Structure 1
């Protein structure tokens, strides 16, 4: 049964490769056995690979679907366990003797630090009827929990369908990122020329594709170190240059700012300062600044980053006042720098009472 336009066995093979588990060839005995008619959370596959002597249970009915045989298990035991798994045998089946049964939640913690969210690892049966639901569950699992309001609430549904289309057409995550980079330069040029509406169209499309590329990489298990750097460097570098181009564009459009240099310094310097503050927080407290408390995660929705800034700029550009829009961006950037400084001071004081812990990991 295909999932994301590939056989489920291919998705499983990619998950095993990422977990550095060799796939058994003809005549070889496998130590890690998984039913290929199920889809497994990649983190769960990795944990299974590190847990010999474990029997993985499907959470809804606690039926075994995967097993990691203990060291020294022979071909006969592997064959018996494989047959029992395929037959949907209960945990009491003699073939599973000596294996410690565990559900996904007992093997993988609920807090995903990389994606900054809480969520349960999944094991999903894949059928013709469940395929769409399985893909949606995988897509949701690939989404960051703490992010901006646009990415979190506006893009998920359209991004799901575009991600499915990219997978079906064989479009790679790096190709999506490459097109996003072209849109970065297109928006930059239009902003600089004072053509704010076409620039905003290019900018919003770029932000949308920035959601798609990462999700496509995660659900198809095609992420690479190069792709990760390519995506993150593109995201990291371009926003302040957009806003500097916007300032120049105001002059080109006949609406020059009274002190464009000051506005530019506040926006560019504020963006760099925010990133420095976040790096200091991670180094000092071992977590991202926006996952400490519930309020910090909420504030990330509207923090002066690319997407919230576009929300400020778009309506004012539409009514012909891009100059006011960029002034609001400067003010909001400065306020957000102050907010992050206050949070850092609060964290330093709170640490006197003990180590800090994210509310998502509570």
Structure 2
């Protein structure tokens, strides 16, 4: 990667996607790269410097931008309709390229770049999205008023983890979509939503402590919903902060076991108090911490990826493993059936069972490594478009975007 790359953004960008114009979105997406320099004058790009021209009329996948910046040769990235989305060149050709762009009359920029090799998305090396535990087809999508709703749905759907719990995957997407839209219209930042989720997490714990299980569950579910919304809002608006990241992930780790302790204390004032609460809570903490340690041991000691994308079995396990949302389902069902004590017992048992399963997976992976084998994610071996007949591919990946027809929020 060169010492410095100049970014020149061309094209009209009056249409906003999730409140951002094409130029604003590109500027935010490229902000993490310290070697980039934005310029509004292509004539001033040094002759020997690398120059990346980006079309503001396209919605870019962040992986595409990263792959382009890693190129060490001149290329022009076109979409399937023959329009250039990005041109990677150098300062010596930048003025001529700018004149070609300015002389284009229909703003489709379907001009011939005779000296620059033409490539498509299939020519870029784009791998599994480790942070979102998924492998979706990359995209460069043209922006217009007609396809704006579909682009916003695509961007929102793309912000979801591919492998997660069943509530987050199938229950929250539609309401979270409309809630995220509301936040964008109101100008709310992701941190505002995170602060609200912290408040509801505390209120839910207080309600559980006092035996107000119904009220606590209502607040708890609302907190989990907000926990989904803040992440989606951050991704679709390309907004992040160190404080928000720490709050969001710290809250996710800390509050679940405290809720279960509070639930146990709350049972003391009901007709079904639990004996041996201290022993049960110790077992719960062992299961909770043990599960997290297994995940950490796998990712940082055995492989370079999350254990839930190792084999298809592990991805299916993530749908129901003992995390907050599946446990809340257990507590909610048992409260509705007037068995709050049994609900807590189920949570403890499910923690222990899930941790035993995760420990088995870690030991299995460790044995493979001892025998000289390598660990690879099942996502590495599939194509989301080609392998749609495989159940796991249909559940944990998305098909390529077709702007000619609507697609679900999943």
* 1:161-200 alignment runs, 5 A limit: 161-200=178-217
Is 1:303 the counterpart of 2:317 in the alignment?
no
What is the alpha-carbon distance in structure 2 between the residues aligned to residue 131 and residue 324 of structure 1? 48
Would you say the 8 A contact 2:42–2:94 is kept in 1? no
Please name the residue that 1:64 is paired with. 84
Please name the residue that 2:74 is paired with. 53
Shift of 1:50: 3.2
Deviates more, 1:211-220 or 1:27-36: 27-36
Please name the residue that 1:137 is paired with. 154
Q: Deviations over 1:105-157 (max 9, x none)?
A: 43242411111101012111111110010011111111101111110111111
Q: Deviations over 1:175-213 (max 9, x none)?
A: 110100001100000000000001001100111111111
* 1:284-303 alignment runs, 5 A limit: 284=301, 285-303=303-321
Deviates more, 1:226-235 or 1:194-203: 226-235
Would you say the 8 A contact 1:29–1:78 is kept in 2? no
Give secondary structure in 1 for the equivalent of 2:230. helix
The normalised TM-score by structure 1 is 0.93
Distance 1:83 1:180, change over 3 A: farther
* 1:266-345 alignment runs, 5 A limit: 266-284=283-301, 285-345=303-363
Deviates more, 1:179-188 or 1:71-80: 71-80
What is the alpha-carbon distance in structure 2 between the residues aligned to residue 225 and residue 45 of structure 1? 23
Is 1:23 the counterpart of 2:38 in the alignment?
yes
Is 1:34 the counterpart of 2:54 in the alignment?
yes
Please name the residue that 1:98 is paired with. 115
Is 1:354 the counterpart of 2:373 in the alignment?
yes
The normalised TM-score by structure 2 is 0.83
Distance 1:28 1:206, change over 3 A: farther
Aligned residues: 358
What is the alpha-carbon distance in structure 2 between the residues aligned to residue 228 and residue 79 of structure 1? 43
What is the alpha-carbon distance in structure 1 between the residues aligned to residue 106 and residue 281 of structure 2? 64
What is the alpha-carbon distance in structure 1 between the residues aligned to residue 44 and residue 75 of structure 2? 17
Would you say the 8 A contact 1:117–1:145 is kept in 2? yes
Give secondary structure in 2 for the equivalent of 1:233. helix
Please name the residue that 1:107 is paired with. 124
Please name the residue that 2:404 is paired with. none
Higher percent of residues as helix: 1
Where do 5+ consecutive residues of structure 1 fail to align? Answer: none
Shift of 1:5: 2.0
Please name the residue that 2:391 is paired with. none
Please name the residue that 1:73 is paired with. 93
Where do 5+ consecutive residues of structure 2 fail to align? Answer: 1-14, 46-50, 382-410
Shift of 1:28: 4.9
Would you say the 8 A contact 1:33–1:82 is kept in 2? no
Distance 1:110 1:26, change over 3 A: closer
Give secondary structure in 2 for the equivalent of 1:18. coil
Deviates more, 1:98-107 or 1:170-179: 98-107
What is the alpha-carbon distance in structure 1 between the residues aligned to residue 307 and residue 277 of structure 2? 31
Is 1:6 the counterpart of 2:20 in the alignment?
yes
**Higher relative contact order (Cα pairs below 8 Å, separated by 6+ residues):** 2
What is the alpha-carbon distance in structure 1 between the residues aligned to residue 28 and residue 99 of structure 2? 23
What is the alpha-carbon distance in structure 1 between the residues aligned to residue 89 and residue 103 of structure 2? 14
